[in-house]
Amino acid sequence: MNRLAFLASGFAFALSAVTLPAPAFAQEEPGDTVDLVIVYGDDPCPASSDAKKIVVCPRMDENERYRIPPNLRDGDNPANEAWANRVKSLESVGAFGVNSCSASGYGGFSGCTQKLIDQAYAEKRSGPGVQAAKLIEAEREKRLSTIDADAAAEQARVEAIEKEFDAKKRAEAEAAEKAGTATEAPAPAPAQGDQ
Task: Report the pLDDT averaged over residues 8-24.
Answer: 52
Same domain assignment for residues 168 and 143: yes
Split at pLDDT 50, 70, 90, the class of 109 is low
- The structural domain count of the chain equals 2
> Does 10 reside within a domain?
no
Within 10 angstroms of residue 56's Cβ, the number of other Cβ atoms is 21
Q: Which helix (H) or strand (E) holds 190?
A: none
User: What single letter denotes the amino acid at residue 34?
Assistant: V
Same domain assignment for residues 150 and 168: yes
Same domain assignment for residues 142 and 118: no
Residues in the chain: 195
With beta carbons less than 8 A apart as the criterion, state whether 116 and 128 touch. Answer: no
Residue 9 pLDDT exceeds 70: no
Residue 117 pLDDT exceeds 90: no
Q: Measure the CA–CA gap between 134 and 13, rounded to whole angstroms.
A: 46
Q: Which of 159, 182, 177, 139 is nearest to 36 (CA)?
A: 139
> Does 194 reside within a domain?
no
Range of the domain at 110: 96-126
Q: Measure the CA–CA gap between 113 and 100, rounded to whole angstroms.
A: 10
Same domain assignment for residues 140 and 172: yes
Q: Measure the CA–CA gap between 176 and 8, rounded to whole angstroms.
A: 87
Residue 22 pLDDT exceeds 70: no
> Does 24 reside within a domain?
no
pLDDT, position 173: 92
Cα atoms in the Cβ-side hemisphere of radius 13 Å centred on 125: 6
